[in-house]
């Protein structure tokens, strides 16, 4: 039985003045113990967020593959752990696009995170051009082939399917398209890691909101959501946690 996970990604948003949103989101998560919730905040907020909400999971949005060294501007897994992060996103399409990260980088980052006990949310997803050319399935399968870390296990790894064209655009695939891609991902994972793939959570991400969460989260093989814009305030994020909790209670 896979518990639903509602994960927020604050991207390059959030100042100390927004910590009260984290407190409110943590309180909502506490009120809905049927589901898991977490927030991946900017590095500068990790320690403060972990301090004000000690029972709530705080994560980061990227990690370097090395533990230390001459890598100006980067951050390592031990640093994230020391700051209070419990989870990290790797392979987000904005990292791939803005920083030329490849699936090989994603693989190495996931391995580094795991070495230091961080849970990992590994992202995949096709561009609009790839989608329109009918190449989405092949692209996503190849991203998983190249980036799935050694020893991948549902105990610490979650997959997020995020079509790039759906991120921050208000556009989403149809529910059938989401179901098809998640089934393909599940089959791919089964081929790579065997039956434990049945326990691995596969999140959908891309323009998830309070308005569409209930229908998306009810799709087969959708085990939660990775939420950007709608995770920035409790007012927008809590309804998504509530939608997940309702589905969990009905199951």
Residues designated as active site:
92, 162
The least distance separating ligand PGA from the CB of residue 162, rounded to whole angstroms, comes to: 6
Asked if 226 interacts with ligand PGA (CB under 6 A), we say: yes
Minimal distance in Å, beta carbon 168 to ligand PGA?
Answer: 4
- Closest approach of ligand PGA to the CB of residue 170, in Å: 8
Which x/- pattern, by CB under 6 A, does the window 160-189 give for ligand PGA? Answer: --x----xx---------------------
131 neighbors 175 (Cβ within 8 angstroms): no
Q: Which helix (H) or strand (E) holds 122?
A: strand 119-124
Instruction: Write the burial class of residue 158 (CB in 10 Å: 0-12 exposed, 13-18 middle, 19+ buried).
Output: buried
For ligand PGA (CB under 6 A), the number of binding residues is 13
Position with the least CB separation from ligand PGA: 228
How far apart CA 184 and CA 221 sit, in angstroms, is 10
Do residues 36 and 2 make contact, with C-beta atoms less than 8 angstroms apart? no
Give the shortest CB-33-to-ligand PGA separation in angstroms.
24
Instruction: Tell me how far CA of residue 109 lies from CA of 39, 160, 173, in angstroms.
Output: 19, 15, 28
Q: Are 55 and 30 in contact (CB under 8 A)?
A: yes
Which of residues 91, 173, 206, 224 is near ligand PGA by CB under 6 A? 206
Residue 13 · residue 228 · CB < 8 Å: no
Q: Are 88 and 120 in contact (CB under 8 A)?
A: yes
9 or 143: CB nearest ligand PGA: 9
* 9 vs 147, beta carbon nearer ligand PGA: 9
Binders of ligand PGA among residues 8 to 37 (CB under 6 A) are: 9
Residues forming contacts to ligand PGA in the complex (CB under 6 A) are 9, 162, 167-168, 205-208, 226-230
């Amino acid at each position: 039985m896979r518990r639903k996970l509602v994960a927020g990604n604050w991207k390059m948003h959030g100042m100390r003045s927004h910590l009260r949103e984290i407190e409110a989101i943590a309180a909502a998560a506490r009120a809905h113990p049927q589901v898991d919730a977490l927030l991946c905040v900017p590095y500068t907020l990790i320690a403060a967020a972990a301090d004000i909400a000690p029972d709530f999971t705080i994560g980061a949005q990227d990690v370097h593959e090395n533990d230390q060294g001459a890598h100006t501007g980067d951050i390592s897994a031990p640093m994230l752990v020391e700051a209070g992060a419990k989870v990290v996103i790797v392979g987000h399409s904005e990292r791939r696009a803005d920083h030329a990260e490849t699936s090989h980088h994603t693989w190495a980052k996931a391995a580094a995170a795991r070495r230091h006990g961080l849970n990992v949310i590994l992202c995949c997803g096709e561009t609009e051009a790839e989608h329109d050319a009918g190449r989405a399935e092949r692209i996503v399968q190849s991203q998983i082939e190249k980036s799935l870390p050694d020893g991948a296990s549902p105990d610490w790894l979650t997959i997020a399917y995020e079509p790039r064209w759906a991120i921050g655009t208000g556009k989403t695939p149809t529910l059938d398209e989401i179901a098809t891609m998640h089934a393909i991902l599940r089959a791919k994972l089964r081929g790579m890691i065997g039956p434990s793939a049945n326990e691995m959570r596969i999140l959908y991400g891309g323009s998830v909101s309070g308005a569409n969460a209930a229908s998306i989260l009810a799709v087969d093989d959708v085990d939660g959501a990775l939420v950007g814009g709608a995770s920035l305030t409790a007012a927008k994020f809590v309804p998504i946690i509530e939608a997940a909790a309702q589905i969990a209670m009905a199951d």
